[in-house]
Amino acid sequence: MTKILVIEDEESVRENILDLLEAEDFEAISAPNGKVGVDLALEESPDLILCDLMMPEINGFAVLSLLREKFNTSSVPFIFLTARSAKADFRQGMELGADDYLTKPFTRGELLSAISTRLERQAAIIKNPASHADVKAYPREMRVIESTLRRTIEQGNFHEFQMYYQPIVDIKTGKMISVESLIRWWSTKLGLVSPAELIPLAESTGLIVPLSDWILETVCKQTRIWLDNGLEAVPGCVNISAAQCMQPLFVEKVANCLSKNNLEPKYLELEFSETTIMQDVNKIIDILQELKSLGVKITMDDFGTGNSSLIYLKRIPLNTIKVDNYFIYNLHQDGQKLAITKALIQMGQNLNLKVVAEGVETVSELKILRDLRCHAMQGFLFSQPLQSADFEQMLISKQTLNI
């Protein structure tokens, strides 16, 4: 029987995961904190570890680092469970040797899919063993994933990628006001590759530039199709990486993409993470000014998780800020998160910016955001990310948030 160790400091979350695993005939053991988790991992030799990221004293990064140093746990599949979604966290986890990264709250299907994928890959490694040093050198066969990604892009096999769409809803009216586009990679060789692997890997290798160009073109083309079909399409939000933004002809590329698809700029929103903007803030501000002059809307993603200075914040030509889902998760039970979220929303309002709360999953969270006069929300409470055909049905039915 497959043994899975769950390291999670929130008792209710831990118990729910244990119940789910036991119902699927896994042998599940658990630890309430990182210290106990490390001890159990060394004693029990689990086949897979699920570990919360944000824990007191010893957090998930420290747990992973300690276990990767030990011979008998150096290659055990390790999946982070977290409410944070900042790209810097994905990257740090990958560098330490994490195998996947699930953002709370996740569905039963997402958890079981992640577990199944990691166990299958581990079985393949055992069946075709490399030396122990090789396994430690690149856990999760990252070089294989990288070479497969590079070959897929260089050969133009973009049919392996799919765009998913998650709507953003006006909290007051309940109407959809925009939609974030999210990429998924269904590799013919590797199967489904987690976005937590795909995006940081693409960024670290420079492959994010051609991949992001394809995303931009695909989203603009799809929006044009919806408009031509007589639907009330909403602006498509596209995430932009630092490498893509710093390309010499990036602004021209955006303008050409709009022109090629006969698309008004109001139907495109470009999202930049707080960390991306602050990498070379003065140069990025100039680029954002040019983009805004086209009529494109600019959003700062993961707001509150980076290191942006309030001095620069006033200069950045933003239309929207997105409050990271770390602050929204269990908002009604955490006074500190509530205080921070309230301050972030008020700051956005004072700067005349639209404020979007990410990762809204419960009615309680929505009620608080409504009381704080947050403008919009995004999350499973309204919709999970959908394939284009499913999102099109939402546009046809003019689905609204009725809570």
Shared domain for 111 and 221, answered yes or no, is no
Question: Residue 57: left (phi > 0), alpha (psi -120 to 50), or beta?
Answer: left
For the chain, give the percent of residues with pLDDT over 90: 55
Residue 388 has pLDDT above 80, yes or no: yes
Is residue 164 assigned to a domain?
A: yes
Shared domain for 221 and 79, answered yes or no, is no
Q: Would you state the pLDDT for residue 6? A: 96
Name the one residue in this structure whose structure tokens are 């896994």. 26
Q: Which of 113, 137, 161 represents a domain boundary (last residue)?
A: 137
The C-alpha atoms of residue 52 and residue 6 are separated, in whole angstroms, by 8
Residue 308 has pLDDT above 90, yes or no: no
Which CATH number goes with the domain that contains 107? 3.40.50.2300
pTM exceeds 0.85 for this model: no
180 forms bridges with which residues in the sheet?
166, 237
Mean pLDDT for 109-128 is: 75
The C-alpha atoms of residue 60 and residue 52 are separated, in whole angstroms, by 6
Shared domain for 367 and 321, answered yes or no, is yes
Question: Taking Cα atoms as reference points, which of 16, 106, 2, 93 lies closest to residue 48?
Answer: 2
The C-alpha atoms of residue 62 and residue 176 are separated, in whole angstroms, by 41
Is residue 402 assigned to a domain?
A: no
Mean pLDDT for 374-390 is: 93
Shared domain for 233 and 252, answered yes or no, is yes
Residue 49 has pLDDT above 80, yes or no: yes
Q: Which of 137, 169, 196 represents a domain boundary (last residue)?
A: 137
Q: Which of 103, 137, 171 represents a domain boundary (last residue)?
A: 137
**Domain around 339:** 145-397
Q: Would you state the pLDDT for residue 393? A: 96
Shared domain for 70 and 190, answered yes or no, is no
DSSP annotation string for 350-368: HTT-EEEEE---SHHHHHH
| Count of domains observed in the chain | 2
Shared domain for 130 and 190, answered yes or no, is no
For the chain, give the percent of residues with pLDDT over 70: 90
Residue 139 has pLDDT above 70, yes or no: no
Shared domain for 213 and 307, answered yes or no, is yes
Is residue 90 assigned to a domain?
A: yes
Residue 278 has pLDDT above 90, yes or no: no
Mean pLDDT for 172-199 is: 89
Shared domain for 98 and 228, answered yes or no, is no
Shared domain for 163 and 96, answered yes or no, is no
The C-alpha atoms of residue 25 and residue 46 are separated, in whole angstroms, by 15
Is residue 403 assigned to a domain?
A: no
Shared domain for 215 and 113, answered yes or no, is no
Q: Would you state the pLDDT for residue 134? A: 37
Shared domain for 75 and 183, answered yes or no, is no
The C-alpha atoms of residue 247 and residue 216 are separated, in whole angstroms, by 14
Quickly state the pLDDT bin for 194 (edges 50, 70, 90). confident
Which CATH number goes with the domain that contains 182? 3.20.20.450
Shared domain for 82 and 230, answered yes or no, is no
